Every structure is written in structure tokens, then in C-alpha cells.
Amino acid sequence: MTHIFTNARLINPETQTDKLGWLRVSNGKITETGAGDAPESGIDCNGKCLAPGIVDIGVKVSEPGERHKESFRSAGLAAAAGGVTTMVTRPDTMPAIDTPEVLEFVTRRANEDAPVRVRPMSALTRERQGREMVEIGFMLDAGAAAFTDCDNVVADNRVLSRCMTYARSLGALVIGHPQDPGLSKGGAATSGGFASLRGLPSVSPMAERMGLDRDLALVEMTNVRYHADQITSARSLPPLARAKANGLDVTAGISIHHLTLNELDVGDFRTFFKVKPPLRSEDDRLAMVQAVADGTIDIISSMHTPQDEESKRLPFEEAASGAVALETLLPAALRLYHAGALTLPQLFRAMSLNPSQRLGLNTGSLTKGAPADLVLFDPDAPFVLDRFKLHSKSKNTPFDGARMQGKVLGTWVGGRSVFPVNT
């Protein structure tokens, strides 16, 4: 099976180019690309953008345990509609994904129901309790993409050092949530004038820097491959840059919310804006956008976290954290493009190429031989987001009613169209 995309604005994160051209796909792989007019007619992209599909690290699909919040079916449809071709799912389910048996269940459910690729991550410690490491070897054999206890920080340094040492021997990637557990306890907002006026329990961004410093020290000790799931404050950037300069195998991510929203968006206690870590100051946000541009921050992800209405319709400090974002990741990221802060190739380096490379996948580029995981989008098409039109079962998006620009026109996984559903 061969088809050709013509008259497309090819966004290539590897060459950092954004040029009109064509792209040929056969047997699920990209076989040829070229500039200018295509040699034959095919799918006319009308000059819209064709980019490698997004590889989203840290998607919460609430299976097993809370399928009413999100299933592989609903998350997969949301991903396809959002241009996400690989969901790297989180293990903070109920029960946690901490045995090969649970991992197999998840893999089977994903294969049955999700129209996009799914790469599940494993917990780092049993039940994410921070006491005993999971069977890292078995989990790798069963297909675990990485190891993380998500927002449960492994507080015991000895436990974490052993996990890292063991993971190092198998070449496994450990993902940390840099946060000092003592300092950040109970924090629902970033400390500062705004949180204090609202009377919310708050946490200093320094808790993130302390968590990162601790993790980096252990990385230096164990030489493990390490990724910080979310670096969201300016104070964390110097140690991160230093660790990279010193040759540690370290990368860092950030959620799209921390790049496009700030603490003031919480307004009068709007719980859809409660995420973990909490939204930061505008100064921090600007510093993080710059860090993505210069590559200090490697990866942008959705941190898709479905929550039902009940768990959000509570007083702010009691409400659950997290936001759904598979479908809003691209249009929100395009705000940074329209604002002139990042180019499209820079955005797709952070959303497709880097996450793919970090996990050792071969997707995320438009290079010959790569799987034809593609997203076609119109970066300019304006719309007003209606949360009830999202494919996710949970509708907890901070962008409800927001004016956005950028619509996904089509998504392909391995050359097969997964969005829109009927073409």
C-alpha cells in the first residue's frame, strides 16, 4: 500500500526545516520525501502542515481501576484527534502497573481498543510505595517503556539509589518527579502573593529544585538514564543545564499547561487549573518557554490526567489535580508558535522527536524508513474549545471556552488513517 502526501508544509524536527514538499508512504513507512511539486497526485494537503505524530510521555489512561474516567478506547480516540500517535502511559492506575501480569493486561487492552500506539510505563517500586523495586527485568521484557512512580516521590535515598543502580545495569530509563516531599506536602498552589491572598496552602518552587538536586546527585552516583517528568520553574534550570554539560544522561520534560498558563489563571478557585506541580508565576513560564527553545528542556507532554466532575467539584485544596490534554496539546502548543516564541520544527522536536529518541523508538521524524506516524494540521484555523466535545470521558480541561488556533485535519499511525475516523 502506497500513498503520497502532496503540497504539504513538511515540519521536520530532525533537520529543523519547515518547507513545502511531498512525502511518500508505503507499507506503513516513510519511503521518500521531496521539495516542491510532487511527481504524482495523491492526498492534497493544500499547503497545510504535515509533521511527525506526537509521542506523549505521561498519559494517564485510567485502566485498570477507574475506567469511568478514561478507557483505552476514549483516550485513543482523543489522542488520534489531537495528533498524538504514541501514548506513553503512566503506571499510577489502581492497581499500579507494577507486575508483568498487570502490564500484560494493559498491553492487551491497549491493542484491542486504542487506535494509536501505546507504550506503557512501569512503576519503579511496588505499589508506588517507595520501598521495594519492581521486577525491572521482567517488566522490560514485558515491554515497559520506562520506570516511574509518577507523583509519588521515592523519598528514601537508599531505595532510589538501589533502583537506579539496578535499572542502570539493564539500560532502563528512570523517570523522576522532582519534588521535595516534605516541603511540597499539602501544597495546592505555588507560594507567592497570589496564593497567599487566596489563602491556599502553597509550595515554593524551591521544592522542585531540591528534588531535582537530589535526583541528579543519585544519577551522578549511579549513572542511570534519567528523565525529569516536569521541570517547571526557573530555579531548576541551572542545575539541569549543569548536569547535562557534565555529561550525565539526563533529560527533562514539561507539561503544556506550565508552558501556556500561569498561577493567576486559577482566578477564583477554578479547580480545572489545579495541576501537579501547581501552575507557576509568569516569570517562570517565560523562562520555561525559553528553555524549550534552547533545548534545556527536551520534551513537552500533555500530562493528560482525567478526573471526573465529582473529584473536581470540591473546594480547591480538596479537589483532585490534573487536566485532560491529549486533544488540546497541539493547539495549546501552537499558542507558543503564534506568539513567536517557538518555531514549528522546535515544537515538534520537543513533542515528537525527542520523546521518541529518549524512549528508543524509531518514530518522531520524517526521515526515510521511519514509521509513517503523521499528523496533518492547519496551524491557523481558529476555534472556541467546548469541553463537552472532547473525546476523553473526563472533560476536565482548563481550556474550556478558550479561543485557540490550530486544528488537526488528519492523523496516521503506520500509514493507516486513525483520524478523522471515516477516511
Partner 1 sequence: MTFRQKHLLGIEPLHPDEIRSILDLADKYADQNRLPVQNEKVLAGLTQVNMFFENSTRTLASFELAGKRLGATVMNMAMQASSIKKGETLVDTALTLNAMHPDLLVVRHPHSGAVNLLAEKVNCAVLNAGDGRHEHPTQALLDALTIRREKGRLHRLSVAICGDIAHSRVARSNIHLLGKMENRIRLIAPPTLIPAGAANWGVEVFDDMAEGLKGVDVVMMLRLQKERMDGAFIPSTREYYHRFGLDAAKLAHAKDDAIVMHPGPMNRGVEIDGTLADDIHRSVIQEQVEMGVAVRMAAMELLARNLQVDQPKGVMA
Q: For residues 203 and 323, which CB has a smaller minimum distance to partner 1 in the complex? A: 203
Q: Tell me the residue length of the chain.
A: 423
Side-chain half-sphere CA neighbours of 290 within 13 A: 9
Least separation in angstroms between residue 196's CB and partner 1 is 4
Select from 75, 83, 13 the least CA-distant residue to 331: 83
In the region spanning residues 196 to 235, those forming contacts with partner 1, defined by CB under 8 A, are 196-200, 202, 204
Q: Which of 264, 314, 384, 421 binds partner 1 (CB under 8 A)?
A: 314
In the region spanning residues 157 to 196, those forming contacts with partner 1, defined by CB under 8 A, are 186, 191-196
Q: For residues 99 and 184, which CB has a smaller minimum distance to partner 1 in the complex? A: 184
Given a contact cutoff of 8 angstroms between Cβ atoms, the answer to whether 166 and 133 are in contact is yes
Which span sits near partner 1 by CB under 8 A: 42-50, 70-78, 312-320, 398-406?
Answer: 312-320
User: How many residues belong to the site for partner 1 (CB under 8 A)?
Assistant: 22
Which span sits near partner 1 by CB under 8 A: 130-138, 211-219, 310-318, 393-401?
Answer: 310-318
Least separation in angstroms between residue 66's CB and partner 1 is 18
Q: Which of 166, 226, 272, 316 binds partner 1 (CB under 8 A)?
A: 316
One symbol per residue from 119 to 148: x for binding partner 1 (CB under 8 A), - otherwise; what is it?
------------------------------
Q: What are the CB-based long-range contacts (under 8 Å, 24+) for 312-317?
A: 312/271, 312/272, 312/274, 312/396, 313/271, 314/271, 315/269, 316/188, 316/189, 316/198, 316/200, 316/266, 316/269, 316/271, 316/274, 317/186, 317/188, 317/200, 317/201
Q: For residues 112 and 318, which CB has a smaller minimum distance to partner 1 in the complex? A: 318
Given a contact cutoff of 8 angstroms between Cβ atoms, the answer to whether 376 and 50 are in contact is yes
Distance between CA 217 and CA 398 in Å, rounded?
Answer: 35
Given a contact cutoff of 8 angstroms between Cβ atoms, the answer to whether 115 and 108 are in contact is no
Asked if 315 touches partner 1 (CB under 8 A), the answer is yes
Q: For residues 40 and 268, which CB has a smaller minimum distance to partner 1 in the complex? A: 268
Residues that bind partner 1 (CB under 8 A): 186, 191-200, 202, 204, 268-269, 310, 313-318
